[in-house]
Amino acid sequence: MARQDALLRLRQRLINQRNSLRKELLATKQWISDCDVHGDSADVAYGDNEQEMHSQLAALESRELDRLDLAIQAIEEGSYGTCRTCHGKIPVARLKAIPDATTCISCQRLNEQRGTNGGFDADWESAWRFEAKLHDGDLTVQDVRMDR
C-alpha cells in the first residue's frame, strides 16, 4: 500500500510539473512569435540568436512535456513504475528522483553502455553548436594567426 500511496503522490507531482511546463512552453512560443527585430545588422543578428535559443528551448520543453504525458498515461493505465525493458518494478526512490523514468537502474546502465536511450534523444549537439555560435564573436584579430 505504501508503494501505491507514493505513486499517487508522484502522479500529482507529474501533473503539477506538466501544467507548469505547459505554461512555460506557451510563453516561449509566444515570445518567438512576437519577436520581430528591426534595426542594424547587429540588432537583427542578436534577435536571430535569441529566437534560435528560444526555439531550442521550446524543443527541449516539448520533449520533456511528452515524457511527462507518457508517465501520467502509464499511471492511469497501471503500468507506471514497471521497467519497459525487464518488466521489473522500478524502485520508488528512482521514481521520486526521476518521475518519468521508464527503466530500472540496471537496464538504464545497459542502455547507456550500448548508447541507446529509449528513443528520447536530447539534442545536446545542437544546443552546444548554438552556444559555440554565440561565442564565435569572442575571437579578435589578435587571436587569429595568419601566415604571410
Residue 4: name the closest of 72, 81, 73 by CA.
81
Q: Give the DSSP letter of residue 103.
A: S
105 in a domain, yes or no? yes
On whether the CB atoms of residues 57 and 49 are closer than 8 A, the answer is: no
127 in a domain, yes or no? yes
What are 53-74's pLDDT values in tens digits?
Answer: 777 887 888 888 999 999 999 9
64 in a domain, yes or no? yes
For the question of whether the overall pTM of this predicted structure is more than 0.75, the answer is no
What are 74-87's pLDDT values in tens digits?
Answer: 999 989 999 999 99
C-alpha cell at 96: 521520486
15 in a domain, yes or no? yes
- Could you list the residue range(s) of the whole structural domain that residue 7 is in? 2-135
- CATH code, domain carrying 8: 1.20.120.910
What's the mean pLDDT in 103-116? 88
On whether the CB atoms of residues 72 and 15 are closer than 8 A, the answer is: yes
pLDDT given at position 115: 81
Q: Which residue has the higher pLDDT, 15 or 119?
A: 15
148 in a domain, yes or no? no
Q: How many domains does the chain have?
A: 1
